[in-house]
Amino acid sequence: MFGVCLSLAILSLAITFPCVAQNLIVSSPEKAIRLEFSLKDGIPGYAVSFKGKPVVLPSTLGLQLAGYNLDRNVRFAGADSSIVDESWTQVWGETRTVRNHYRQVTFHLSSQSQEPVVFDIVFRLFDDGVGFRYTFPMQKHLSHFVVTAEQSTFSLAGDHNTFWIPGDYDTNEYPYTTSKISEVDARSVVKKTNDIATRFVVDSFSVQTPLMMKSADGVYLNIHEAALANYPAMQLHVDRKALRLESRLVSDAVGNMAYLQTPFATPWRTIIVSDKAAGILESKIILNLNEPCAINGTAWIKPQKMIGVWWELHVGKSSWDYADPSGIGAKTDWTKLKPHGRHGATTANTKRYIDFASKHGIDGVLVEGWNVGWEDWFGKWKEEVFDFITPYPDFDVDELRKYAASKGVKLIMHHETSGSVTNYERRLDEAFGFMKANGYDAVKTGYVGRIIPRGEHHDGQWMINHYNRVAAKAAAYEIMVDMHEPARPTGMHRTYPNWLASEATRGTEFNAWSVGSPPEHETILPFTRLMGGPIDYTPGIFQIKLDIYGKKGNKIHSTLAKQLALYVTISGPLQMAADLPENYEAHLDAFQFIKDVAVDWDDSRYLEVEPGDYLTVARKAKGKDSWFIGSVTDENPRTAKVPLGFLDSGTTYVATIYRDGPEAHWDNNPMVYKIEKFRVTSRTILTVPVAAGGGFAVSVVPASLDQLKGILRYKPLKN
């Protein structure tokens, strides 16, 4: 089943450094990045500069193991270097082909203990940043070992403007705070955020990665990690006075960080740097630091769109559970319970969604609340709640399998674990076997609540291993996965491209039952959460104000046109048209963009970019000549200027522009929009007014002379 998906051409050059060296300077292939490695008084360290500007000032490196300190009293044993320049093809992604060009430098070190431990610190220098990791070969004095701390630090060159969320061990679902590094106060954010169900914030000065920063002189800096496997996620403790970030690994129930065996390599720590905001988003460092595809044959992995019985649950139109929970016990006969009549995942309601999907060319229908157990699950910390194969009496699995197949629609499974991960792992084979027997090729998993076994965290080594096991097990069954409530991604979808998406962020649902997310949220996400992999963000809400569902004061903090733009700015191979069918039926002209927009790409261009303010992106559909443009802004209105120089010269296209209408505003007038068509060429510059909290979406399709009849040449737009 498993093997290498891609064949790569690699050009390498070996260089050997003298073993006596204690301070070494190396550069990236085109000299943009400069690394200085040091070993002062037995303490390993490094510094990084970009185009002559300091990015990371001298900072320490090392690990602490039970019985060994590998952050001090370290001996230098030599170094070697090579250059790699290769290209590889993605199964899916923002670009078809990725270039991987770097200089690798390996520093060989050992402890000065009586029984020395041998280890390496490996750096890969790209022209847009650095990755480094710790590796342990097989050796005489170290076999099984325990990591008790990691001493990787990042001393910053200034008090940068920073986009951050608290360093919570169990959730990523916070709004972003923008502040100076010296002003980080995580616990104050937690106190204000009363809608997070599970919190474990160690201290007031802990933040999560990806951490996005901008210096006063215009250098953009992003710190994260890549290839997170068999190791806990890294948080960053902020030393506000020293302007230093210190790695903090997520511990297990007894305070240890990782249980390992040689040979072993830690995840990569990534530092991406650019003098343009777009350069951060264009970087492929995190993808390149992951292992190649581990699946032998990927034709069954299909990027797709879906709708589903989801939003009606969050707005309260229906419920996950089937009956009144009172009197329900371990041996309940579900067929004899009296239903309360508000259950969403019924056979009839699912058919309604299947019909809509079939009519409009949507690939799949996600159904949540189909299986028994929802009456008594949330916050109970129970070992066994769901069995993942037993439907409620009003959900006919066999009938729906046949009905969906007759309509050319795939049903998508939902597995909520309620945090009982041991229960899920025991049942995985049975659950995946049930899916394949009934025509389900994709699953959305969930990990709401505290993790069972007790004391483990969503971001700890135990759970990291679980997520990766699920991805690998699903691949063996040819099942695609969308994980909710996991650790934030680190590019592992390169290795397991059936891992289409994760949540791991504050998504659309928070607008249904909390204060929601401010308009700037979607301008920050590409620079933070999206750096590691796609989000299941659930865009496409057309009924912006939720009062009609009894949700007084709740709303989507966006215009309707911005909801369309999100399909391009927050890209991914799994996109949900999240609203209810009836709300789309009321705006079929706007829904056309959701039907048309691609979910897989040959190319991506970041045209206007500033984190926290605005984002304009153009993407070319996989295997087609069509382009799609999305633009979003924060709470401030603006005018976007979008040159179309990426189009083929000599070709005329039809651009369909979906934009904010006159007087549109995310708060008081969000649902007015305009749709206009124009002739455009590669020489056209679109000028589009964007409302406060608004956006616009554009489809650009090459057209014949007949298709151009009646369509005027583009002229600058005004409200």
Summarised one tens digit per residue, pLDDT across range 307-334 is 999 999 999 999 999 998 776 665 667 7
DSSP state of 470: H
What is the SS3 assignment for 667? coil
Phi, psi of 419 (to 5 degrees): 80, -5
Q: What is the CATH number of the domain that holds 36?
A: 2.70.98.10
Q: Are 223 and 204 in contact (CB under 8 A)?
A: no
Residue 148 lies in a domain: yes
Q: What proportion of the chain, given as a percentage, has pLDDT over 90?
A: 87
**How far apart (Å, rounded) are the C-alpha atoms in residues 644 and 276?**
20
Looking at residue 327, what is its pLDDT?
A: 64
Helices (H), 217-284: 277-282
Place of tokens 């865009």: 539
Of 601, 609, 598, nearest in space to 523 by CA: 609
Known catalytic residues are: 509
Phi, psi of 44 (to 5 degrees): -70, 145
**How far apart (Å, rounded) are the C-alpha atoms in residues 594 and 567?**
8
Looking at residue 380, what is its pLDDT?
A: 74
Q: Are 106 and 80 in contact (CB under 8 A)?
A: yes
Place of tokens 């009646």: 710
Q: Kindly state the average pLDDT of the residues 63-87.
A: 96
Place of tokens 């709401």: 448
DSSP state of 361: T
Confidence of residue 113 (pLDDT cuts 50, 70, 90): confident
- Rounded to the nearest angstrom, the gap between the alpha carbon of residue 537 and the centroid of all alpha carbons in its chain is 9
- pLDDT-wise least confident of 261-270, 328-337, 447-456: 328-337
Of 486, 515, 481, 523, nearest in space to 498 by CA: 481
Phi, psi of 199 (to 5 degrees): -130, 140
More confident residue, 334 or 114: 114
DSSP state of 529: G
Q: Are 305 and 599 in contact (CB under 8 A)?
A: yes
Is the pLDDT score of 5 beyond 70?
A: no
How many domains are contained in the chain? 1
**How far apart (Å, rounded) are the C-alpha atoms in residues 171 and 638?**
33
Residue 621 lies in a domain: no
Q: Are 694 and 684 in contact (CB under 8 A)?
A: no
DSSP state of 418: T
Looking at residue 9, what is its pLDDT?
A: 37
DSSP state of 666: T
Q: Which helix (H) or strand (E) holds 121?
A: strand 118-126
Confidence of residue 196 (pLDDT cuts 50, 70, 90): low
What is the SS3 assignment for 413? strand
**Average pLDDT, rounded, for the chain:** 94
Confidence of residue 14 (pLDDT cuts 50, 70, 90): very low
Confidence of residue 4 (pLDDT cuts 50, 70, 90): very low
- Written as six digits, the tokens of 535 are 């989000």
- Written as six digits, the tokens of 8 are 């790569």
Residue 296 lies in a domain: no
Q: Kindly state the average pLDDT of the residues 432-458.
A: 95
Extended beta strands in 430-475, E state: 442-446
Q: Spell out the SS3 assignment of 280-305.
A: HHHCCHHHHCCCCCCECCCCCCCCEE
Q: Are 356 and 581 in contact (CB under 8 A)?
A: yes
**How far apart (Å, rounded) are the C-alpha atoms in residues 421 and 452?**
6
Place of tokens 């051409």: 9
Amino acid at 695: G
Residue 245 lies in a domain: yes
Is the pLDDT score of 29 beyond 70?
A: yes
Of 1, 464, 457, 2, nearest in space to 227 by CA: 464
Residues in the chain: 719
Q: Kindly state the average pLDDT of the residues 343-372.
A: 98
Looking at residue 330, what is its pLDDT?
A: 59
**How far apart (Å, rounded) are the C-alpha atoms in residues 177 and 188?**
11
What is the SS3 assignment for 180? strand
Domain that holds residue 204: 15-288
Confidence of residue 6 (pLDDT cuts 50, 70, 90): very low
**How far apart (Å, rounded) are the C-alpha atoms in residues 259 and 257?**
7
| Core vs surface per residue 556-571: b (16+ CB within 10 A) or e | bbbbbbbbbbbbbbbb
Is the pLDDT score of 630 beyond 90?
A: yes
Looking at residue 3, what is its pLDDT?
A: 34
Q: Are 653 and 680 in contact (CB under 8 A)?
A: yes
For 515-543, write each residue's pLDDT tens digit.
999 999 999 999 999 999 999 999 999 99
- Rounded to the nearest angstrom, the gap between the alpha carbon of residue 376 and the centroid of all alpha carbons in its chain is 30
Residue 277 lies in a domain: yes
Is the pLDDT score of 192 beyond 90?
A: no
Phi, psi of 21 (to 5 degrees): -65, 140
**How far apart (Å, rounded) are the C-alpha atoms in residues 118 and 115?**
10
Residue 545 lies in a domain: no
* Long-range contact pairs involving 505-509 (C-beta distance under 8 Å, separation at least 24): 505/172, 505/173, 505/529, 505/535, 505/537, 506/172, 506/173, 506/174, 506/175, 507/173, 507/535, 507/536, 507/537, 507/538, 508/537, 508/538, 508/539, 508/541, 508/556, 508/578, 509/314, 509/538
Looking at residue 198, what is its pLDDT?
A: 57
705, with CB counted inside 10 A (0-12, 13-18, 19+), is exposed
Phi, psi of 638 (to 5 degrees): -160, 175
Looking at residue 463, what is its pLDDT?
A: 98
Confidence of residue 189 (pLDDT cuts 50, 70, 90): confident
* Long-range contact pairs involving 712-717 (C-beta distance under 8 Å, separation at least 24): 712/678, 712/679, 713/678, 713/679, 713/680, 714/655, 714/678, 714/679, 714/680, 714/684, 714/686, 715/678, 716/687, 717/657, 717/659, 717/676, 717/686, 717/687, 717/688, 717/689
Residue 707 lies in a domain: no
Q: DSSP labels for 541-572?
A: ----B-GGGT-TT-B-SS-HHHHHHHHHHS--
- pLDDT-wise least confident of 9-18, 189-198, 319-328, 605-614: 9-18
Looking at residue 195, what is its pLDDT?
A: 55
Residue 135 lies in a domain: yes
DSSP state of 105: E
CB atoms near residue 188 (< 10 Å) = 12
Q: Looking at the DSSP assignment, which residues form a beta bridge with residue 25?
A: 36
Looking at residue 8, what is its pLDDT?
A: 36
For 574-627, write each residue's pLDDT tens digit.
999 999 999 999 999 999 999 999 999 999 999 999 999 999 999 999 999 999
Q: Kindly state the average pLDDT of the residues 71-98.
A: 97
For 358-367, write each residue's pLDDT tens digit.
999 999 999 9
Is the pLDDT score of 654 beyond 50?
A: yes
- Rounded to the nearest angstrom, the gap between the alpha carbon of residue 38 and the centroid of all alpha carbons in its chain is 34
**How far apart (Å, rounded) are the C-alpha atoms in residues 27 and 34?**
4
Looking at residue 316, what is its pLDDT?
A: 96
**How far apart (Å, rounded) are the C-alpha atoms in residues 719 and 657?**
13
What is the SS3 assignment for 487? coil
CB atoms near residue 114 (< 10 Å) = 6
Of 287, 166, 173, 283, nearest in space to 609 by CA: 283
For 373-417, write each residue's pLDDT tens digit.
998 888 777 788 899 999 999 999 999 999 999 999 999 999 999
Is the pLDDT score of 7 beyond 50?
A: no
Is the pLDDT score of 20 beyond 50?
A: no
Q: Which helix (H) or strand (E) holds 524?
A: helix 521-524
